[in-house]
Structure 1
Amino acid sequence: METVLKNNSSRQREAMAIPESSLSMSSSGSGDHDIICVGFGPAAVAIAIAMQDRGIQRRVLFLERQSEFGWHTGMLLPGSKMQISFLKDLATPRNPRSHFTFLNYLHQKDRLVHFTNLSTHTPFREEFNDYMKWCASHFSNCVQYGQEVVSVTAAETRPGWPAEYFKVVARDLQSGELKELSAKHVIVASGGECAIPQGLSKQPLPKTVIHSSQYMSVVSKLLEEKNASYRFAVVGAGQSAVEIAEDMQSRYPNSKVNIIAKASALKPSDDSPFVNEIFDPSSVDSFYALNRSARREVLLENKATNYGVVRLPLLESVYEKLYRQKFLDPNPRNWPLRLVTSREVVGLNQLPSPAANPQVELQLKNVQTGDLENAGEKFDLVVLATGYKRNPFTSMLKPMEGIVESPANGEQYLVGRDYRLQFSQGKVKRDAGIWLQGCCENSHGLSDSLLSILAVRSGELLDSILASSKRSEDYARL
């Protein structure tokens, strides 16, 4: 019995201890690395955690464009909550005993008991962001912030021979200096790029037209008068658009807000348990096995789980507000909140103004009739809640277009089930490779860009990298 007690005590001490990172990088941050990861958002942090949990010792470098870790900081609205369970954190689905679970974070912060009293599975977004920052802080020894990766190229040691490693060129965003790094394994986890409506994407936007990802960072700086009669436009029909409209009305009680949606109506999200199974890690296998046509059908069928939809309680709250406005005043132009549907933003006019922040007019197209029209209002701020594009990695990998395997189904790149980019035969050695994260929805399913799958996926990716390294070690022993 004494031995058992000692073992249990040891386990308790181990669980409470803050682990030191087993990852390292060269002292100068340059030269050879085993792994270079482009980006240090949630997906990359989950990968670092998976390495740490297994005690893997590698020379690893994470290159992050932002100046510090942050997860959708522009959308950390006061009181806004997560839309998934805290159990789908960066570690629990893969290893519930990890130091890096959300529950252990609460324990370390002395809030675990208080959190349980909330009787909720969905923490505040601000708290979940703090949890991920806490996780990221454990790996500060192998992260460089303010670094933009410009290109990744395969490096030939001998002409005509398969490439043995990759050259990664990064720009320091503060100094502008370029540096060249190298690694056998490169992970691209650079996140999404703001999607701008096509009608606005070919012109410089005034500072009073912003993407939703910037909202919390700039709104109070741009518009300082809390009681002013500001006029706002929010472009989009999803959760972010409606949440921003609600925040605007709360932040500026005398303001008027237009929600401009291409859709004919705001639609509810489907988060029922059976439908939610498409976000289970096991669903990736079945989705990947489908042909291109079947994949498209599945994505379209389940679009209501994630794109252009609003949680039902919030949707009903908005409808109630609109109804009450109509009851109190039949003239829509007097309403604090308006919903303008079936309209696409195709242009804007920046109005001359002596004020520091220019007003804008929006040019709209009726998507049902094709008619062009003016929104008829001057807006002090326009927020584009129009989502993200998941292909910023393409320019980064452009130098390797000639050696990347092109699938017959028309996709730009062929990606394996293990998220490994497929190269043409004989172009890259098997113990070197590139892995893509968060940009494989077409091949791996709707969960690819979401938090739900990060913990399990990071373990799968790590297995693939280790397997390629083992093949090299086995070959060297022959």
Structure 2
Amino acid sequence: MVRNEVEVLALGAGPANLALAVAMEELAAEELAADTFIAEAHENVVWQRGMLLPWTQSQVSFVKDLVTLRNPRSKFSFINFLHSVGRLDEFVNLGTFTPYRQEISNYLQWVADSMSRVRIGYGKRALSVAPIWNADGQVDGWLTRFADDTETLSRHLVVGTGRDPLVPEQFAGLPADRVIHSSQYVEHIADVDASAVRRIAVIGGAQSAAELLWAAHQEFPSAETTMVMRSIGLKNYESSKFTNEIFYPSFIDEFHAAAPEARDQLLREMHLSNYGGLAPGMLETLYRQRYLERLSGEERLRVITMTDVVGTRVEDDEVVLSLVDRRTGRADELRCDLVLLGTGFRGTMPALVRDLAAELGIAEITVDRGYRLQLPATDGASCYLQGVNEATHGIADSLLSVLASRSGDIVKGLLTGRRTVPALAEIG
């Protein structure tokens, strides 16, 4: 087992920790940047890896990149990326604020490749994180073990690995080759034998489910594609200019200071601004396709609303979904060859964070306004959580909108709490 030592270890090279890397290079170049290491489980940086389809676009303005809202003069901006790769004129001529996901993904890799001080390591999947205790029962640092038989000792830890995929329990028992979550669609759909698929069921009623429906409809031109959802129908995102003010970085202070019942109300009312709706273009595409198919009499795209999937089984080499109509209580069955889950991600903390909290003896995982995990006792060590704090920091916490400001907050917190400490080897 090879052990490395750094002052700051960040897990995951997604947008959250790449924004942190930019903030390190701009705000802590002399103090922390060179002793910061980002560990990425994959061999490259890809945004929304499972759903990186060629026609998909971001629903967020390119101005909300990794840095612009914190430092509009930064060399790490999306605009400078376009200029650097010779595509700025073409993008301007495209006339949109919402780039294709592939272009954002390319931007993120460009930022990762542009780091001069912060180091990024690929193929480093974290298996566990354990606190290091001193003689006084205080946390001195963290020991992270990776799947490549290495471990890293750090004073500070930043977790930016995202949430765990939500696979509803009724689908958990299906064979792995019969069910694909949206987070793994691109990777696993390539292994599916198209000639063996005649019917595809898509579960969910928001953007990811709609994208799965359209992708499967295009990729399997001979198959019927059926979306099953609990709601009354597909809806637009709530995206009025008034509503969009909740995505301002300045709104975080207002949300964080609100009473618990007010936070709950805000999260409920803002659900359609991120989770429960679709982009207008996707809605239009699906509706027109369904209309054209009904017009031609060859209907391949179907939508079943207000229906629960209460069970699943495999029978005669078919996946059978047991359905219940929420309006009438009527039971029915839907037979298919493949199930695609657009069911999103778990609202709970990621498993790695929950396991760490158990080691620390923390019953309730909470962070302060600066995203620092509340530890029982610490002697200079800290742990920051990115993208999993909606309950305390608002619905924008998992989105691109607040990346620039949040990374600045975390770096400033690290610098403020920094002090002279023993060499890391001494606390191992």
Q: Same fold (TM over 0.5)?
A: yes
1:126 Cα deviation from its structure 2 partner: 0.8
> Structure 1 regions of 5+ residues with no counterpart?
1-27, 354-358, 407-411, 474-478
Q: Does 1:51 align with 2:24?
A: yes
Deviation at 1:167, TM superposition (A): 2.2
Which of 218, 229, 237 does residue 269 from structure 1 map onto? 237
The DSSP-based 3-state class of the residue aligned with 1:349 is strand
Tell me what 2:252 maps to. 284
Q: Kindly provide the CA deviation profile for residues 50-92 of structure 1, in whole angstroms up to 9, marking residues without a partner as x.
A: 1112324441222222232221122122222111111111111
- Counterpart code for 1:206: A
Residue number in structure 2 paired with 1:396: 355
Using the TM superposition, give the Cα deviation of residue 342 of structure 1 relative to its aligned residue in structure 2, in angstroms: 1.4
- Indicate if the aligned counterparts of 2:181 and 2:340 stay in contact, CA closer than 8 A: yes
1:421 to 362, 370, 373: 373
Change (3 A) 1:145 1:372: farther
Give the distance between the partners of 2:227 and 2:293, measured in 1 at CA.
15
Q: Deviation digits for residues 99-133 of structure 1, max 9, x if unmatched?
A: 21111111110111121111211111111111111
> Deviation of residue 29 (structure 1)?
7.3
For residues 214-248 of structure 1, the C-alpha deviation after alignment (integer angstroms, 9 at most, x for no partner) is 222232431345xx873211111011211222222
Pick the aligned partner of 2:109 from 118, 133, 139. Answer: 133
Paired with 1:271 and 1:143, the residues of 2 have a C-alpha distance of: 36
Match of 1:363 in 2: 322
**Partner AA of 1:262 in structure 2:** R
Residue 213 of structure 1 pairs with residue 170 of structure 2: no
**Shift in Å, 1:452:** 1.1
2:100 maps to: 124
What's the counterpart of residue 383 of structure 1? 340
Aligned partners of 1:204 and 1:241: how far apart in 2?
19
Runs ≥4 residues deviating over 6 A: none
For residue 443 of structure 1, the aligned residue among 392, 407, 424 is 392
* 1:189 aligns with one of 138, 154, 160: 160
**Once superposed, what is the RMSD of the aligned Cα atoms?**
2.4
How far apart are the structure 2 equivalents of 1:382 and 1:44?
Answer: 33
> Distance between the aligned counterparts of 1:115 and 1:68, measured in 2?
24
TM-score by length of 2: 0.90
Picking from 97, 106, 114, the partner of 2:90 is 114
1:90 to 60, 63, 66: 66
* Aligned-partner SS, 2:215: helix
C-alpha contact 2:174 2:313 (8 A) present in aligned 1: no
User: How far is 1:46 from its partner?
Assistant: 0.7
> What is the alpha-carbon distance in structure 2 between the residues aligned to residue 268 and residue 181 of structure 1?
45
Pair 1:465–1:438, CA change in 2 (3 A): same
How many angstroms does 1:153 deviate by? Answer: 2.7
Instruction: Report the more deviating stretch, 389-398 or 123-132.
Output: 389-398
Unpaired segments ≥5 residues, structure 2: 423-428
Summarize deviations over 1:275-330 as a string: whole Å, max 9, x none.
Answer: 1111110111000011221111000011110112112332233233334444554x
Q: Secondary structure at the match of 1:222?
A: coil
Residue pair 1:166, 1:186 contacting (<8 A) in 2 also = yes
1:319 to 271, 287, 303: 287
Matched, 1:166 2:149: no
The 8 Å contact of residues 153 and 399 in structure 1, kept in 2 or not, is answered as no
Normalised TM-score (structure 1): 0.81
* Matching residue's letter, 1:383: L
Q: 1:470: Cα distance to partner?
A: 4.7
How far off its partner does 1:472 sit? 7.0
Q: Deviations over 1:181-217 (max 9, x none)?
A: 221111111112111112123x253312100122222
When the two structures are aligned, how many residues end up with a matched partner?
Answer: 416
The SS at the match of 1:215 is helix
Contact 1:255 1:336 in 2 (8 A): yes
